[in-house]
Amino acid sequence: MSPGLLEVHSSGWPLFSIMAAVSEKLRDDGQEICTTEAQLAPFIDSFDNAIMVPAEHCAALLLEAPQCPDVVASALLALADVMRTTAWQQSNRYYQFTSEMPRSQPPERDAERLLQQAEAMVRSQSARWSWLTTRWPVWRLLDRLGAAEAVNVSSGGSWFWMYVFPHRVRSDGIISNRIRATSKAYCLQLFQDEVRRLLEQMPRKLRLVEVGPHIGDCMLWAAAEFREQIRATAVEPVAQVVSLFRRSIAANGFAPIIDLHHAFCGSENSGGTEPPATMLQPSIPWIRLDSVVDEDVDILKIHTNGGESQILDGAEKLFARHEVRVVILHSAEAHQLWPSTRFLLHRNYDVTVDGRRMSESGKDESWLRTRVAEVGGLQLHASKDSSIIYIDI
């Protein structure tokens, strides 16, 4: 007996990814699709923009094209994708307005049962070759259904649960795919090395701060690896990644260790919001970093894809009143990197960018601008620790 689709997903083998690649090669682009191009388009577009196919669109296809097996299978699989990625994590969505405690509620099986119905549709057809030549993305949908949201990530002798993006497109999906494939957090090695170095030097609790933690790789890694030896604050403006990060914090019991703020970080505290607040979409405030952190910091890590120098400006009081031992900053913009370099040099830090020890000379500014143009994103590392050896380039 051949294995079912659920068994293939559980095996971890990328069989549907292989089938999708084969289907791409064999696909008949001139084939009649049994529906309109407009009805097919949301399915194809979802693999480029990560926007899920609306449930009402899937339902309409099930009603309008019941005679087309590949259309029906695609609609069922897209519905399964919607159901599995919007499932309530703490309870069954169908019980949300009842008095039933979460532990007594049955698990949701919608995605599993829709997948089984799609499998029955595929197996009922005697003409198997058509499943490889169809323009409907049956195999890509099956592959995406295997992109788990919750990943068991290993960290040295420890492990933790991490919630990632349940798709494979754009940078979010690519990074999530890497985490799924390696079971390793996507955390900068320099950050890991600095945490270990400082813990070896100082047998006390480390204070870590990260602006732009994305889905929390580095903070989760540190919490899992060192537990009560660290205390972390993170600031992140993107609602989708904040949601995933919060679920990871809850799943691992890291709330006493990691304090997560949903906010934009800049040079001013602001009552303004971006975008405008609604009842369903709460406002996202702008905050200065020194308004949420008012104590010594061992490592400040910044990776925000913009606005890095403004974040440092918003930490001016923090640097003036307290010790910030190490700064790790990533940017792909020279007009952010150079002011950030000068900010730290003015406060007597040893600063390196991409391994080069920096000064305020025009030569270093010119080098930095050229280097950014050549390679894109660069890593800035700043410290007042005289034990660190820097290499002049």
- Give the CATH number of the domain where residue 313 resides: 3.40.50
**Residue 213 contacts residue 262 (beta carbons within 8 Å):** no
Q: Residue 346 burial by CB count (10 A; 0-12/13-18/19+): exposed, middle or buried? A: exposed
**Residue 224 contacts residue 159 (beta carbons within 8 Å):** yes
| N- to C-terminal Cα separation, the chain | 64
For residue 173, the model assigns a pLDDT of 87
User: Largest Cα–Cα distance in the chain?
Assistant: 75
Phi, psi dihedral angles at 19 (to 5 degrees) = -65, -35
For residue 282, the model assigns a pLDDT of 62
Q: Are residues 138 and 184 in the same domain?
A: no
Among 90, 114, 145, give the residue marking a domain's end: 145
Q: Are residues 76 and 140 in the same domain?
A: yes
Q: Are residues 78 and 227 in the same domain?
A: no
- In a domain, residue 312? The reply is yes
Q: Are residues 135 and 238 in the same domain?
A: no
Strands 350-353 and 378-383, how do they pair? antiparallel
- In a domain, residue 64? The reply is yes
- In a domain, residue 110? The reply is yes
- In a domain, residue 126? The reply is yes
For residue 88, the model assigns a pLDDT of 54
Nearest to 84 by CA among 17, 180, 6, 157: 6
Q: Are residues 165 and 109 in the same domain?
A: no
Q: Are residues 185 and 318 in the same domain?
A: yes
Which residues lie below 8 Å from residue 276, measured CB to CB, with a gap of 6+? 283
- In a domain, residue 268? The reply is yes
Give the position of tokens 């002049």: 392
Q: Are residues 94 and 156 in the same domain?
A: no
For residue 349, the model assigns a pLDDT of 98
Q: Are residues 120 and 200 in the same domain?
A: no
For residue 393, the model assigns a pLDDT of 42
The token duo for 243 is 């949601």
The token duo for 10 is 């559980």
Each residue's pLDDT, cut to its tens digit, for the chain (393 residues) gives: 467 888 887 777 788 989 999 988 888 777 788 899 999 999 999 999 889 999 999 999 999 999 999 999 999 999 999 998 765 556 788 888 898 888 888 988 999 999 999 999 988 887 778 888 999 999 999 999 989 889 999 987 789 999 999 888 888 888 999 999 899 999 999 999 999 999 999 888 999 999 999 999 999 999 999 999 999 999 999 999 999 999 999 999 999 999 999 999 999 876 544 554 554 556 899 999 999 999 999 999 999 999 999 999 999 999 999 999 999 999 999 999 999 999 999 999 999 999 999 999 999 999 999 999 999 899 999 998 755 544 444
Q: Are residues 117 and 157 in the same domain?
A: no
For residue 308, the model assigns a pLDDT of 96
How many domains does the chain divide into? Answer: 2
Q: Are residues 181 and 275 in the same domain?
A: yes
SS3 for the chain is CCCCHHHHHHHCCCHHHHHHHHHHHHCCCCCCCCCCHHHHHHHHHHHHHCCCCCHHHHHHHHHHCCCCHHHHHHHHHHHHHHHHHCCCCCCCHHHCCCCCCHHHCCCCCHHHHHHHHHHHHHHCCCCCCHHHHCCCCHHHHHHHHCCCCEEEEEECCEEEEEECCCCCCHHHHHHHHHHHHHCCCCCCHHHHHHHHHHHHHCCCCEEEEEECCCCCHHHHHHHHHHHHHEEEEEEECCHHHHHHHHHHHHHHCCCCCEEEEECEEECCCECCCCCCCCCCCCCCCEEEHHHCCCCCEEEEEEECCCCHHHHHHCCHHHHHHCCEEEEEEEECCHHHHHHHHHHHHCCCCEEEECCEECCCCHHHHHHHHHHHHHHCCEEEEEECCCCCCCCCC
- In a domain, residue 270? The reply is yes
- In a domain, residue 363? The reply is no
CA 43 vs. chain centroid, Å, equals: 23
Q: Are residues 76 and 123 in the same domain?
A: yes
Nearest to 153 by CA among 216, 238, 199: 216
Q: Are residues 198 and 93 in the same domain?
A: no
For residue 390, the model assigns a pLDDT of 44
C-beta atoms surrounding 63 within 10 Å: 9
**Residue 318 contacts residue 294 (beta carbons within 8 Å):** yes
Nearest to 74 by CA among 168, 176, 145: 145
- In a domain, residue 360? The reply is no
For residue 386, the model assigns a pLDDT of 52
- Residue 207's domain comprises 150-331
Among 292, 311, 331, give the residue marking a domain's end: 331
Among 90, 125, 145, give the residue marking a domain's end: 145
